[in-house]
A = this chain, B = another copy of it.
Amino acid sequence: MSRFTEFETYDVRFPTSVDLDGSDAMNADPDYSAAYLIVRTDAGDGLEGHGFAFTIGRGNDVQTAAIEALRDHVLGLDVEATLADLGGFWKSLVHDSQLRWLGPEKGVMHMAIGAVVNAVWDLAAKRAGVPLWKLLADLTPEQIVDLVDFRYLTDALTRDEALEILRRAEPGRAEREQLLRAKGYPAYTTTPGWLGYDDEKLVRLCHEAVAEGFGLIKLKVGANLDDDIRRMRLARAAVGPDIRIAIDANQRWDVAEAITWIEALKPYDVWWVEEPTSPDDILGHAAIAQAIAPARVATGEHVQNRVVFKQMLQAKSLSFLQIDSARVAGVNENIAILLLAAKFGIPVCPHAGGVGLCELVQHLSMFDLIAVSGSTDDRVIEYVDHLHEHFVDPVIIRDGHYLAPTRPGYSAEMNPATLAEHRYPGGKVWTELSTGWQKENIA
């Protein structure tokens, strides 16, 4: 028997606001950040579990404090018993009778649980000697549903219905795994479309995206309608009629404004409209979806938990469901969401980008392909070419596809040098920036 013996957190930040990478209508100057966790055991195998919550700068300290608040929930636990019942472990964190007041199941505390759960899954996959997607894809339907908390879901998805979905997908598992290993999983790119980029850069990056094999690109919209029309026209001209263009408003609009704005962009053939309004507005998304058809709504990166996703499916608020690896409470809750999407026949197109979100979420889509939905039809994982160099096992994109990771674990591990240099506020990157800023402002 071994025990969890160390629980080490890091406030890690990247000064991305300096270049305006990642700028959109609501997030003008993000500094991509991770509230990062390493768990260690006394097993003597040298294996660690790494996990993180993603934030965009200010507040990453609060997020790190929330992970720290879970220290006593992990330290001292029997590692083998915990890994043998990760559904039970999930519940022990999410249903803590005092901590749940801080949500329940939303915001800072829920993302902190996600970081812990993901770190433990990273360890589980490393111990099994396989990448996480493979670990999950080899579980039996019964083992998979045991990971899911069906509380608050049963009016839309019962355990038995989930089992049926998983059993239906069993026959083709091996074949799809082979296909995945050969070809990878389809990606799309947001790289051309940040609001901070000028027209020349937009067009150049659009051409590059097509050349690199992407079948879908995404533009940020919502700050200024005239600019959006011009950028959409330029992008459409650059990529031609056969490449899909999605637009992303990052929650910028109220319901009526969303409908008007989207109508003005529809002539350029909009594949989906992402986050048209508040991520909490299930009924608002449904009203928009109905009004803009055949254009379609996508959302999810800020959807707080499986209960809100359930309702978005029930209310027909979305046509594409965008899971995020670091918003909800980790792998277990994302499995619940994948099952809900499969039940309602809605394609899952994960949100990624930021720092490390691509690395993580690819595992979930690959698991979905093999063991849940069994399909890549209309399914694509977001890809943004930022900050991958900081990871021990960075994503590999080829011909517009994510190649299946082969290294054991959840691909969550940052390089030790990154953890040291980007630690906030004391790491080298930040002390040098601060010195540079002082020089500039004194000179």
Instruction: Show the binding face of A for B, using Cβ within 8 Å.
Output: 26-31, 55-59, 61-63, 65-66, 69, 96-112, 151-155, 251, 254-256, 277-284, 287, 302, 304-305, 307-308, 310-311, 314-315
Contacts and interface: CB of A to CB of B under 8 A. Distances in A.
A114 to B, nearest CB: 13
A62 B69 contact: yes
9 contacts: A59-B99, A61-B65, A104-B278, A108-B109, A151-B254, A154-B256, A281-B307, A281-B310, A284-B307
B105 A108 contact: no
Given A62-B62, A107-B110, A281 B311 contact: yes
Given A30-B97, A154-B255, A108 B280 contact: no
Contacts of A109: 59, 62, 107-108
Contacts of A278: 104-105, 151-152, 307
A282 B65 CA distance: 31
A314 B283 contact: yes
A106 B304 contact: yes
A106 B106 contact: yes
A315 B152 contact: no
Nearest to A151: B254
B256 A96 contact: no
A58 B256 CA distance: 42
Contacts of A105: 278, 280
Contacts of A152: 254, 277-278, 280-281, 284
A283 B304 contact: no
Given A59-B109, A69-B59, A97-B30, A304 B284 contact: no
A304 B280 contact: yes
B106 A102 contact: no
Closest CB pairs A-B (n = 6): A107-B107, A108-B108, A58-B98, A57-B98, A155-B255, A65-B65
Contact of A27 (B101, B254, B315): B101
Contact of A108 (B62, B283, B307): B62
A28 B99 CA distance: 12
A104 B279 contact: yes
Tell me which of A28, A65, A100, A101 has the highest count of chain B C-beta atoms within 10 A of its own C-beta: A101
A154 B254 contact: yes
Contacts of A311: 280-284
Nearest to A308: B280
A36 to B, nearest CB: 16
Contacts of A111: 102
A302 B315 CA distance: 22
A66 B108 contact: yes
Contacts of A101: 27, 30, 55-57, 59
A240 to B, nearest CB: 34
Contacts of A65: 61-62, 65
Given A59-B102, A106-B107, A280-B305, 19 more contacts: A27-B100, A27-B101, A29-B97, A29-B98, A55-B98, A57-B101, A62-B66, A62-B108, A62-B109, A66-B108, A102-B108, A105-B280, A151-B278, A154-B255, A155-B254, A155-B284, A280-B311, A283-B311, A283-B314
A348 B393 CA distance: 53
Contacts of A59: 66, 69, 98-99, 101-102, 109
A105 B302 CA distance: 11
Given A155-B256, A304-B280, A311-B281, A102 B107 contact: yes
Nearest to A35: B102
Contacts of A29: 97-98
Nearest to A155: B255
B251 A104 contact: yes
